[in-house]
Amino acid sequence: MPLLTANLISEWRRALVSELQTAFPGAEVTSGRRAGVSRELRIAVFFDGHRETPDRVVVARTVMIVRYWPAHAADTPADPSELEQAAYDLMRLLQDRQKQIELAVDDLWFFRVESVVTDEDPEEWGVEARLLGFAKNVAAIA
């Protein structure tokens, strides 16, 4: 069986990175996991699993994570309202760009923002969005 040159996971990640780079032109937007505190505006996008849908094995649920570290000064106390605003901004951006992202990925039927959480730990201090995409389960034989 030949290897696929394009796939839902990579296409979706690239579409998200592209939209985030456009929306946050001053940010460092990367693919792949990244952890730890950041004083600069940084965003990381990565794949976090592919699961079948219970009772509908032909439908896959693919998870993509967007981690967002808003810029903040190291010498000031962390203000939770900054993270709350960053979470809100990220949710609005994903809602506003949802259709463009879905159209850019051939096999993605749709996605939704399953959750957005803030992390006020000084070693992480950021926002994480969990996106749940729905598509044909290529791992299932139906």
pLDDT tens-digit profile of 17-29? 999 999 999 889 9
What CATH number is given to the structural domain containing 128?
A: 3.30.70.1700
How many domains is the chain built from? 1
| Strands (DSSP E) found in 1-142 | 28-31, 42-53, 56-69, 108-119, 126-136
The two most distant CA atoms of the chain are separated, in Å, by 57
- Domain assignment of residue 24, yes or no: yes
pLDDT at 38: 64
Residue 41 domain-assigned (yes or no):
yes
Residue 13 scores a pLDDT above 90: yes
Is 63 contained in some domain?
A: yes
Residue 108 lies in a domain: yes
Tokens standing for 92? 């609005």
C-alpha pair distances (Å), 141 with each of 11, 42, 53, 100, 136: 23, 40, 14, 30, 11
For 61-88, the pLDDT digits (tens) are: 999 999 998 877 566 666 788 889 999 9
Q: Which domain holds residue 108?
A: 8-136
Q: Is residue 70 part of a domain?
A: yes
By CB atoms closer than 10 A (0-12, 13-18, 19+), residue 119 is middle
Q: Are 131 and 63 in contact (CB under 8 A)?
A: yes
pLDDT digits (tens, 9 = 90+) for 29-45: 999 887 666 667 889 99
Decide if 3 is inside a domain.
no
- Looking at this protein, which amino acid is placed at residue 140? A
> For a pLDDT cut of 90, what percent of the chain falls above it?
40
142 in any annotated domain: no
Q: Is residue 2 part of a domain?
A: no
pLDDT digits (tens, 9 = 90+) for 84-114: 999 999 999 999 988 888 888 888 999 999 9
